Amino acid sequence: MSMDPVARAPRAFLSLRAAVAVATLIGASLLPTAPALAAGPICGVSGAHTVCVTTPADVLTGPQTITVTDSPNNGVVIATWQPTAGTAVRLVTKAQPSASFGGTSYSFVWPTQKYLDAPGVLAVQADSPGTTPVTVDVTLSNGNLTDIQHTPNDWQSFLPVAWTGASDPIVAAVGDGPADETKANKVSDSIVTANPAVFLFLGDIYEQGTYTENLNHYGQLALDGDPGMLWGRLAPITQPTVGNHEFPNLTAWTDFWHQRPDVTSFTFGGVLFLDLDSSKSMTSSSSQYAFVQQQLAVAPACVVAYWHIPATSGGSVSSKELPMWKLLASNGGDLVLSGHRHNMTEMVPLDASGLPGGSAHMVQLIAGSGGHKLGAALTGTNVAWSLGKTGGAVYLTLNGAASGGSASSLSWAYQDVLGIARRTGSLTC
């Protein structure tokens, strides 16, 4: 599939292509603040592992690299911040060694400016939360006495601009990848190479969507004045949705995405895109339902909704999501994009009641193939096609949106990390 990179409206931040070029030149990880000279590591036994932790200094300011080695170099490692006079806060859970640190350690960057100032201990443990941790005494000092340092409330500056390219624009979509693991990072690399006009991130930054995990697993965003890292390189074109892993830390997700709300919409290529939160109520009495109802009243011909947890995984539509499904399918909805299931799956068209056949039109596409713990293919009466154990993304073409036009149909191709199309489909709006 050709990804036409024709000129887009200029932006105040680095373009995706420029960001990648600069990142290559820098060869940086997550651009931590230059630390004081580090002391030697503190080591101990945690579970069946020997863990060693090195902090840059006793007093930490801004983002700082925490070096964590684990012998043997496998399994789960958990880092927790325990203020002396406060509640313990999970920083990061890593299921594998950190790919951005060469896969040789469980090191991470701690954005200490996202936590209140306090003395305390950094506790790192292997295997599970029940094992004995290795602890290091540190003090956080960022001037954060009553609040943390927040990102600017400028999320609207990063909504897609009008498309004026000579070819129909491409919109990529996938979720369930960011964990700083090799397979997941290859998926982000493949999307960077494809150079779509817009990227819909379908949710789940592993494991709990904390401030520290967002930075390390998704990567420094290219919205923040630098080239960005990992999935964050795509940030200038990204429109994210909330996964169930991030939902318990919605405040951190909102801050990471420059105060973006978890329910919003935008129009691109003459298509209405509805960004919804599947961890919130979708009943007919919910605020989310009312928002979508209002949007559909003035919607263009093509309507694409996206949220994290699929309405159906092969059988009937979930009762929790059926009211939203009915609303969309009865009022011009065409596609629903979701992640959560770690595979690529295309459902058969379903009607407002979630049934196939007859006047059924709306199609659900699952792209949870972002590379983290890739799962098996789905089966079920409503599955048209499914592919498991394969990393990649789905790419939508907004047919008719070239040169400032409005799409009248949508086509899609599931592509693996090598750019090979595994499944194609289309529908008329």
Task: Convert the pLDDT of each residue in 4-59 to its tens digit.
Answer: 333 333 333 333 333 333 333 233 334 443 344 445 799 999 999 999 999 999 99
Residues 6+ apart with CB under 8 A from 258: 151, 152, 153, 154, 155, 157, 158, 223
Q: What is the pLDDT, as a whole number, of residue 78? A: 98
CATH number given to 42-140: 2.60.40.730
Cα–Cα distance for residue pair 342/193, rounded to 1 Å: 22
Same fold, 42-140 and 155-428: no
* 3-class DSSP assignment, residue 196: coil
Q: Confidence band (pLDDT; 50, 70, 90) for 224?
A: confident
- What is the number of alpha carbons within 13 Å of residue 232 lying toward its C-beta? 29
Q: What is the pLDDT, as a whole number, of residue 393? A: 98
For residues 251-278, average pLDDT: 98
Tokens of 251: 């405040």
Q: What is the pLDDT, as a whole number, of residue 226? A: 82
For residues 136-146, average pLDDT: 97
- State yes or no: pLDDT of 285 exceeds 80: yes
Q: What is the pLDDT, as a whole number, of residue 115? A: 98
- Alpha helices by DSSP H, listed for 244-299, are 250-256, 287-296
Q: What is the pLDDT, as a whole number, of residue 58? A: 95
Tokens of 2: 């050709």
- State yes or no: pLDDT of 101 exceeds 70: yes
- State yes or no: pLDDT of 64 exceeds 50: yes
CB of 190 closer than 8 Å to CB of 415? yes
pLDDT above 70: percentage of residues in the chain: 91
Go through 285-303 and write b for each residue having 16 or more CB atoms within 10 A of its CB, e for each that does not: eeebbebbeebbeebebbb
CB of 361 closer than 8 Å to CB of 335? no
The pTM of this model reads 0.91
Mean pLDDT over each residue of the chain, to the nearest integer? 91
Q: 144-203, pLDDT tens digit by residue?
A: 999 999 999 999 999 999 999 999 999 999 999 999 999 999 999 999 999 999 999 999
- State yes or no: pLDDT of 262 exceeds 60: yes
Domain locations in the chain?
Answer: 42-140, 155-428
Q: What is the pLDDT, as a whole number, of residue 225? A: 78
Closest CA to 224 of 199, 197, 258, 200: 258
Terminal CA-CA length for the chain: 21
Cα–Cα distance for residue pair 5/252, rounded to 1 Å: 33
CB of 65 closer than 8 Å to CB of 91? no
The arrangement of secondary structure in 155-428, i.e. its CATH architecture, is: 4-Layer Sandwich (3.60)
Cα–Cα distance for residue pair 240/237, rounded to 1 Å: 10
Q: What is the pLDDT, as a whole number, of residue 264? A: 98
Q: Name the least confident of 19-23, 240-244, 294-298, 417-421.
A: 19-23
Q: What is the pLDDT, as a whole number, of residue 95? A: 96
Tokens of 105: 């350690």
Q: What is the pLDDT, as a whole number, of residue 39? A: 58
340-to-51, 55, 197, 335, 418 alpha-carbon distances in Å:
32, 35, 24, 17, 22
249-to-212, 242, 419 alpha-carbon distances in Å:
11, 10, 34
